[in-house]
Amino acid sequence: MPQVRKLPPEEVRAIENKGKGKRKLTEEEYDRILADFNVGDYGEVIPDEGERRLTIRNRLKAAAKRCQVSLSFLRTRDNVIRFKVEPGDGQVDGGQAVQQKPQLRRHTEAETSAPPPVSSDAPPRRRGGRPKKKTA
């Protein structure tokens, strides 16, 4: 017969709360870095040994998207990444989010009326592709 026991609450919490993974910790680190910047600020990143510029750039862009801003990267010659924080979707230059209502398009009477009738004089339109083989 197998041994069965009820787990105490401490063990249950340890099982359920596994902590944060490496990716989540990296996301939070880049979010904290960008939290110090306002719209219009410039920043500079000097990668450590073994870090790739493209990876850092992608992580910064993802963090900017989560912060609802956008980054424009400036060209550099050295191993330096320079960027400018710009307003993202729904933001103005003051850095405050603005909710914009979508513009509704009103249809005119001509657009809502039925399409013109199709003439039966013209042959039906052929389907694309290779023609079928004719059997004799």
Q: Return the closest-CA partner of residue 71 out of 95, 109, 39.
A: 39
Kindly report the pTM of this predicted structure: 0.55
Which pLDDT score is estimated for 88? Answer: 81
pLDDT (tens digit, 9 = 90+) per residue, 97-133? 433 334 445 555 555 566 666 666 777 777 788 888 8
- Is pLDDT of 67 > 60? yes
Calculate the CA 66 to chain-centre distance. 8
Q: What pairs with residue 86 in β-bridges?
A: 70
Are 89 and 64 in contact by the 8 Å Cβ rule? The answer is no
Angstrom distance (rounded) from CA 28 to CA 32: 6
pLDDT (tens digit, 9 = 90+) per residue, 78-88? 889 999 999 98
Per-residue exposure over 19-28, b if at least 16 CB sit within 10 Å of its own CB, e if not: eeeeeeeebe
